[in-house]
Amino acid sequence: MRTRTFAPVKPLRPVWQSALLAALCSLAVAASGVIVLGHDALDAFTWNTWLLLGLAFAMSISGATWAAAQWMSPSGKAGFGRPLAGLIIAILGLAIGSETGPFKMIWAAKCFTIGSSAALLSGLMLVVIFRRSAPIMRQRVAVAAGILAGFVGFLVIQVHCPINEFWHMMLGHALLPVIWGIAGYLLARLSWSR
């Protein structure tokens, strides 16, 4: 049984501090993943594809980070516009850089699993950072954190995997932020219902 006390609650840190901490942790996971797995895909694409992908990752990671940090407070205002725009730009970049070739679901599943490993590590760090979210915004924070973790996995596997067949990249790489965003929502619903 919980008892209510009237002791003061420790205030939340400023939004910019939470966002910066989440971004730095996510980028540290991404850099570690690239160092461990390698960067075999850097030569598989032209500079214009990497330019679009770089823009997409910057928009999406910063947008999801800022949204999650804003929504820690019940008065926080943010949206999913930047991560969504980033995902669309990433898909455009993948389409421009893709080549025709054989699609093998087993290879896409392997890439999705490797990317999910990086996303899971990032997600665990984000749970610690955003654990004090406002109850009425918890699901939004969880979705934003899930999208952020998914983009970390997407970044790691995109830099690592040299397969540039379009459907492989869509299902094995670009699907990560979508699935992890849904997972964040479902986990928030599950934990909130208890």
Q: What is the pLDDT of residue 116?
A: 97
Contact 164, 44 (CB under 8 A): yes
Cα torsion through 8, 12, 13, 15, rounded to 10: -150
Q: What is the mean pLDDT of residues 162-166?
A: 93
Q: What is the mean pLDDT of residues 25-42?
A: 94
Rounded percentage of the chain residues whose pLDDT exceeds 70: 91
The C-alpha atoms of residue 9 and residue 160 are separated, in whole angstroms, by: 44
pTM: 0.89
Give how far Cα 159 sits from Cα of 43, 50, 111, 183, Å.
Answer: 10, 10, 11, 24
Amino acid type, 12: L
Q: What is the pLDDT of residue 78?
A: 87
Q: What is the pLDDT of residue 132?
A: 76
- Shortest CA distance to 132 belongs to which of 18, 1, 7, 6? 18
pLDDT (tens digit per residue) in 70-108: 988 877 788 899 999 999 999 999 999 898 888 999 999
Whether 1 has a pLDDT exceeding 50, the answer reads no
